[in-house]
A and B are shown apart, each in its own frame.
Chain A
Amino acid sequence: MTTLNRRGLLKTGVAAGVLGLTGLPLRAQTRGGKLTAGLSGANTSDSWDARTHSDLFMIASAQGAVFDSLTEVAADGSLVGELAESWDSTDAQTWVFNLRTGVNFHNGKAFGPQDVIESLQMHLGEESKSAAKPIVQNITEMTQSGDHQVTFVLNAPNADFPYLLSDYHLLMYPAGQIEDAITNGIGTGLYQVQSFDPGVRMVATRVDDHYKGDSAGWFDEIEYIAINDNTARNNALLTGQVDAINRIDFKVESLLRANPNIVIKEVTGNQHYTFPMLTNNSPYDNVNLRKALKYGINRQEMVDKILLGHGQVANDTPIGPASQYYAGDMEQLTYDPDQAAFYLKEAGMEDVTLDLSASNAAFEGAVDAAQLLQASASVAGIGINVVQEPADGYWSNVWLKKNFCASYWSGRATEDWMFSSAYEEGVPWNDSQWGTEDSARFQELLLEGRAELDSDRRREIYTEMQMILRDEGGVLIPMFANYVEGLSAKLGTPETIGNLWQMDNARMAERWWTT
């Protein structure tokens, strides 16, 4: 396993190599030109309503171009202000945010504290289906405490609160005109909507006088074309119809790489593929059985064969290279059939046969991965029976319901966010039923880490939590999958591109340029 620095490995690939060899200077950013991108994850149900956003096309269009949030995760993983200028808290429970001044919405309305309050409130309400509801409902009080200041009081201390506000659901809409803003796409972003056809196309032009000024937003115009079909996306890039595409099929990556007009960008982030076990149910409540599986899975083989090398082995923790407190130096679990057989014997289940439910709805290649697990585990005497489930309704009928299945997580920006989404006792997406019964220490640390503002102490806490999950956790996490995207050689990008989401955290309109 290669060690990676904290913010993840960036393979700048061909571009850097070619430019280095030919001795061409890396040209600086210049304003102008048009970005045409072919993106997947588009639906006919798309709209400017951030509560419904869940896939790249709308995230790149909304948070990445037309709208802004209060905070933003920069490409290097640090948190910077977007519509908030600065923030402060003494106890991690009361947060004061100073807003940027002189910001206007595309319809001319000035941005202020009321916009923040109303934009966050729209995620609440009994009927709300917003995925950001769990974040917003922890705010007990939101008040305007100055001309350009908002004070939030939380129901419990949360040191990551400013990070949470960078969520792509939490966009800022103009107060009193939210309905209009959702219909027409009126935000404070660098680009103003010219036309939007759900599931087909989005065109926006650069706002002339923007608060981000000359530090971002290099294109005069952007056009995002919905291309959900993999082959069509590759063709569009190959024939120069688009300048950038997301999600390159690993199988054709080397063919595209051979084309001199195309640059492949690849980053390892927090996206991980998993096999959760329900630890409340027999036999997965037995920690020795879980340990047997941890040693019986061949992680490297999965990275090689399922991801074709486009990823990194994981250590049964969801905290990846894009996280601040990623414990990359923690000892790696390796494939060891003898150890696996030992723990299986400890568990007293030598002749067990486990049903493993899988479908490619969980992730591309999930069924193959399950079969690899079956093969590697059988060497240690663990019997696994792979049950192929239908892709339709997989998330409703299999995930969270079957004892042992395949799943994936796109990862979260912070440790607490990830843990409180899937590892806190009782939360709805806790796909291993991980709780105090399994590790009281883990749940204790989770609360402690959330309230802790001291960075060194937080590192200790989150490292210990990652170790607990590695040793006893109920989820097998064999690999982190890379984000692989293809760009025309005409495009310039910063040296570091974001690894939290595809396409430079979906912010290519803001950060990339035409050379």
Chain B
Amino acid sequence: MNTVLKIILQRLGLGLLTLLVVSIVIFLAVNALPGDFAQVILGQGATEQATAQIRRDLGLDQPLVMRYFAWLGGMATGDLGTSFAQLNFAQNMGGSGGVTVVEQIAPRFANTMFLAGVTAAIAVPVAVGLGILAALYRNTAFDKAANVATLSSISSPEFFMAYVLILFLAVLNPILPSLSNIYEGMPFGERLTRTLLPALTLTLVVVAHMMRMTRASIINLLASPYIEMARLKGIAPMRIIVRHALPNALAPIINVIALNLAYLITGVVVVEVVFVYPGIGQLFVDSVKIRDIPVVQACCLIFAAAYILLNLTADVMSILSNPRLRHPK
């Protein structure tokens, strides 16, 4: 078990290092965006004087390197800064303060996690179940149909799948609401109904990958001698797959599931905008639009951290699920 702990710590360290590199990339990329907050917020009213005033207020006139280290320092102490948009408002009032990025992101992030949770609750069982069935009935009409269906849904852009679902489930048969504007204090049942369409859209996007990996890794094992042995013992095909093949096929499946979960957090931008879902993706788009750099950077960083952490989890889980890795010689 000690080795596992060592591996985890090692990976965590590497993850942090990756995050540091990512932070540099994010910072440079965000600052390379044309136009800045002052210009965007003032729009047609951007006179030289007003622009300079806002830049000075927000510290945008400082050199890039200084701004980076100030940001990095704040981040290390858990202070992601204050949203420009909110700061501008606060200073207009003659006060200080304003809403910090953490306060602004927290409820949105919770919403995104809720959406990801609902999606995962639907997508993972469906994908693994379909994968097992496809392996069991491989090369039958069912297998082919499942493959074609999931592959076509993954091949279409998300917004297209979203509109197809809206057309069939909201416009032609008004079963589900096309608007997913959930808010704090909404009853859980309604929240779930409103989240269903975006969750289904995301499900369609992620199922194929997981299902095909499940199918492939199980089929891969079905040729091995110990499965043949089991078959010769006369065990039912379903039991062979679930009891004998699946445990050994878990590592790659978990890997793919983790990757897809990461995608559910970072890749929801388009879906959230289409369904007007107030998650972190929508906040990200709105913030990029007005060049609210602290929020954009924080969102990017959260996305990066989610990816790194879930990859780490995938690694650890596949180690734990594999006795050979769990007990190295």
Contacting residues, chain B, for A390 (C-beta < 8 A): 34
Least Cβ–Cβ distance between B41 and chain A, in angstroms? 7
Using CB atoms, name the residue of chain B closest to A408: B44
A449 interface hit (Cβ, 8 Å): no
Nearest opposing residue in chain B for A390, CB measure? B34
CB atoms of A236 and B43 under 8 A apart: no
Given contacts A44-B85, A235-B171, A393-B39, whether A200 and B181 have CB atoms under 8 Å apart is yes
Tell me whether A43 and B286 are in contact (CB under 8 A).
Answer: yes
Residues of B within 8 A of A178 (CB): 93
Q: Give, as a whole number of angstroms, the nearest-CB distance from B96 to chain A.
A: 12
- Of A128, A231, A239, A399, the residue contacting B170 (CB under 8 A) is A239
Q: Which residues of the other chain, B, contact A238 by a CB distance below 8 angstroms?
A: 171, 178
- Interface segment among A48-56, A72-80, A84-92, A280-288: the answer is A48-56
- A176 close to B (CB within 8 Å): no
B181 closest partner in A (C-beta): A225
Contact yes or no, A45 B86, CB < 8 A:
yes
Residue from the list A44, A129, A428 in contact with B104, Cβ < 8 A? A44
B46 interface contact, C-beta 8 A: yes
Q: Which residues of A contact B283 (CB under 8 A)?
A: 44, 199
Contact pattern, A 12-46, Cβ under 8 Å of B = 1, otherwise 0: 00000000000000000000000000100001110
B247-283 toward A: CB 8 Å interface, digit per residue (1/0)?
0000000000000000000000000011110100001
Chain B CB within 8 A of A197 CB: yes
Which residues from chain B contact A45 at a C-beta distance below 8 Å? 41, 83-86, 88-89, 290, 292
Q: Which residues of A contact B34 (CB under 8 A)?
A: 390, 392-393
Residues from chain A with a CB closer than 8 A to the CB of B45 are: 131, 395, 429
Note all chain A residues with C-beta closer than 8 A to B78: none
What separation, in Å, do the CA atoms of A54 and B46 have in the docked complex?
A: 13
Please determine whether B35 and A236 come into contact, CB atoms closer than 8 angstroms: no
Given contacts A44-B104, A225-B276, A393-B34, contact A241 B179 (CB under 8 A): yes
Flag if A197 contacts B88 (CB, 8 Å). Answer: no
Determine whether A244 belongs to the interface, using a CB cutoff of 8 Å to chain B: no
In the complex, whether B295 has a CB less than 8 A from a CB of chain A is yes
Q: How far is the CB of B233 from chain A (nearest CB, A)?
A: 56
Complex alpha-carbon distance, A47 and B85, angstroms = 10
In the bound complex, residues from chain A placing their C-beta under 8 Å from that of B83 are 44-45
* Residues B46 and A395 in contact, CB atoms below 8 Å apart: yes
Q: Are A52 and B42 touching (Cβ within 8 A)?
A: no
Known A-B contacts A195-B183, A200-B181, A396-B35; the reply to A49 vs B86 at CB < 8 A is: no
**B147 CB to closest chain A CB, in angstroms?**
31
Known: A235-B171, A392-B33. A200 touches B183 (CB 8 A): yes
Which residues does chain B contribute within 8 Å of A392, judged by CB atoms?
Answer: 33-35, 39-40
Binds A, one of B23-31, B47-55, B204-212, B310-318: B47-55
- Interface residues in A383-431 by Cβ distance below 8 A to B read 390, 392-393, 395-396, 399, 407, 428-429
Q: How far is the CA of A178 from the CA of B171 in the complex (A)?
A: 45
CA distance A241 to B182 in the complex (A): 13
Q: Is the CB of A44 within 8 A of B174?
A: no
By secondary structure, the B interface counts as helix
Q: How large is the interface on B (under 10, 10 to 19, 20 to 34, 35 or more residues)?
A: 35 or more
Beta-carbon nearest neighbor of B166 in chain A: A235
Is B187 part of the binding interface, using a Cβ–Cβ cutoff of 8 Å?
no
- Decide yes or no whether A201 CB sits under 8 A from chain B: yes
Q: Does B287 contact A (CB under 8 A)?
A: yes
A443 CA / B140 CA spacing, docked (Å): 84
Closest to A235 in B: B178
Known: A43-B290, A52-B89. A236 touches B44 (CB 8 A): no
A428 to chain B, nearest CB (A): 5
Q: Which residues of B contact A297 (CB under 8 A)?
A: none
Q: State which of A54, A179, A199, A396 has its C-beta within 8 Å of the C-beta of B286.
A: A199
List residues of chain B with CB within 8 A of the CB of A43: 85, 286, 289-290
Least Cβ distance of A409 to chain B in Å? Answer: 9
Contact of A395 among B44, B174, B276, B286 (CB under 8 A): B44
CB-defined contacts of A239 to chain B, threshold 8 Å: 166, 170-171, 174, 177-179
Chain A residues lying within 8 Å of B42, measured Cβ to Cβ, are 129, 395-396
The closest CB in chain A to the CB of B111 belongs to A200
A127 interface contact, C-beta 8 A: yes
* Chain A residue with Cβ nearest B167: A235
Interface residues of B in 65-83 (CB under 8 A from A): 83
How near does chain B come to A46, taking the closest CB pair, in angstroms? 8
**A208 interface residue, CB < 8 Å from B?**
no
Given A44-B292, A239-B174, verify A49-B89 contact (CB < 8 Å).
yes
| B105 smallest CB distance to A (angstroms) | 11
Known interface pairs A49-B89, A49-B93; A129-B170 also in contact (CB < 8 Å): no
Residue of A nearest to B107 (CB): A197
A129 interface neighbour in B53, B178, B292, Cβ under 8 Å: B53
Q: Determine which of B47, B53, B295 lies in contact with A44 in the assembled complex, contact meaning CB atoms within 8 Å.
A: B295
Contact assessment for A399 and B35 in the assembled complex, using a CB-CB cutoff below 8 Å: no
B94 contact set on A, CB distance < 8 A: 179
With A43-B290, A129-B54, A395-B42 already in contact, the answer to whether A231 and B89 are too (CB < 8 A) is: no
- Report the nearest A residue to B83, measured CB to CB: A44
Given contact pairs A236-B178, A396-B51, a sample of 13 additional A-B residue pairs in the complex whose CB atoms are under 8 Å apart: A43-B289, A44-B292, A45-B83, A52-B88, A127-B91, A129-B50, A179-B95, A200-B278, A225-B181, A395-B39, A395-B45, A407-B44, A429-B45
Jot down 24 A-B pairs with beta carbons below 8 A, ordered by A.
A43-B85, A44-B295, A45-B84, A45-B85, A52-B89, A182-B93, A195-B183, A197-B184, A197-B278, A199-B283, A200-B278, A225-B179, A226-B276, A227-B276, A229-B274, A229-B276, A235-B179, A236-B178, A236-B276, A239-B174, A239-B177, A392-B40, A393-B35, A429-B44
Closest 6 CB pairs of A and B: A45-B85, A392-B35, A393-B35, A241-B179, A392-B34, A396-B39
